[in-house]
Amino acid sequence: MKERLLKEGKGWRLGWNPQGEIYKGLVGSEEWAIELTEAELNDFCRLLNQLAETMEEMKQQLMDSEKIACEAESDLLWMEVEGFPHAYSLRLILHQHRRFEGNWAAESVADLVKATQFLKVF
């Protein structure tokens, strides 16, 4: 049986509970957290990794002093990264029945991205 998993670092938290009835995921910072459905968590991880890849690709296109903002969304949530390709903040807005907005500071996002890539790997 798979067990609960909670990963956390400076400014971020990410969790997975396969036995959760409705909400199996958790995202948050040091100050806040929200539980997500499995579909919401899957979209969060997928979109965050897409945005991180886009920012990585932009390193070759932008000068060191240029900032950029990129958005990605699904039916369940909207996400935006903003800043320099090597250091950017992240915003999350949930659609659907629960209205929620959260954000992560630039110094937290790189580790959060790495954690999403291994969240459900047991």
pLDDT tens-digit profile of 67-110?
999 999 999 999 999 999 999 999 999 998 888 999 999 999 99
Flag whether 55 is in a domain: yes
Structural domain containing residue 53: 5-116
DSSP 8-class letter at 30:
S
| pLDDT computed for residue 120 by the predictor | 64
Q: Is 121 a domain residue? A: no
Domain presence at residue 38: yes
Please tell me the predicted confidence (pLDDT) of residue 21. 94
Residue 86 belongs to a domain: yes
Domain containing 100 — which CATH number? 2.30.31.10
- Look at residue 122 and tell me if it is in a domain: no
Q: In angstroms, what CA-CA distances link 27 with 24, 60, 62, 97? A: 11, 31, 30, 17
Q: Does the predicted model carry a pTM greater than 0.95? A: no
Q: Judge whether 14 and 115 are in contact, CB under 8 Å.
A: yes
Q: Distance between CA atoms of 91 and 120, rounded to whole angstroms?
A: 22
Q: How many domains does the chain have?
A: 1
Residue 46 lies in a domain: yes
Is 9 a member of any domain?
yes
Amino acid 43 reads D
